[in-house]
Amino acid sequence: MPSTPTATTDRLPNYLAPLPRQLENLALRYAWLIVIINLAGTAFGFWYYRFQLAQTSLVMWPFVPDSPAATLFVALSLAAWKLDYDIEWIQMLAFFGNIKLGLWTPFVQLFLNGPGGIAPWLYWFLVVSYLAMSLQSFLIYRYAEFSVSAVAVATVWYGLNDIVDYFAPLVGEFHHTFLRAELVNGILDHSGQAHDFAAAAAVTLTLAATFLALATRIKKLEPSGDPSKRGLD
Residue 141 counted as domain residue:
yes
Q: How far apart are CA 141 and CA 220, in angstroms?
A: 9
Q: How far apart are CA 212 and CA 96, in angstroms?
A: 9
Least confidently predicted of 2-11, 36-45, 53-62, 212-221: 2-11
Tell which residue, 85, 126, 120, has the closest CA to residue 105: 126
Residue 225 counted as domain residue:
no
Tell which residue, 203, 207, 200, has the closest CA to residue 112: 200
The pLDDT value recorded for residue 228 is 44
Residues linked to residue 187 through DSSP beta bridges, in sequence order: 184
Polymer length of the chain: 233
- Give the global pTM: 0.90
Residue 160 counted as domain residue:
yes
Residue 10 counted as domain residue:
no
Residue 69 counted as domain residue:
yes
- Mean local confidence (pLDDT), 90-97: 98
Tell which residue, 90, 92, 55, has the closest CA to residue 76: 90
Residue 173 counted as domain residue:
yes
Tell which residue, 112, 80, 97, has the closest CA to residue 195: 112
Residue 137: exposure state from Cβ atoms within 10 A (0-12, 13-18, ≥19): buried
Q: How far apart are CA 97 and CA 153, in angstroms?
A: 12
Q: Helices 31-48 and 21-29 sit at what angle, rounded to 10 degrees? A: 80
pLDDT: which is higher, 186 or 37: 37
Express each pLDDT in 99-156 by its tens digit: 999 999 999 999 999 998 889 998 999 999 999 999 999 999 999 999 999 999 999 9
b/e 48-74 (16+ beta carbons within 10 angstroms → b): bbeeeeeebeeebeebbbbbbbbbbbb
Which residues constitute the domain of residue 95? 21-220
Q: How many domains does the chain have?
A: 1
Report residue 225's pLDDT band, with 50, 70 and 90 as the boundaries.
Answer: very low
Residue 158 counted as domain residue:
yes
Residue 2 counted as domain residue:
no
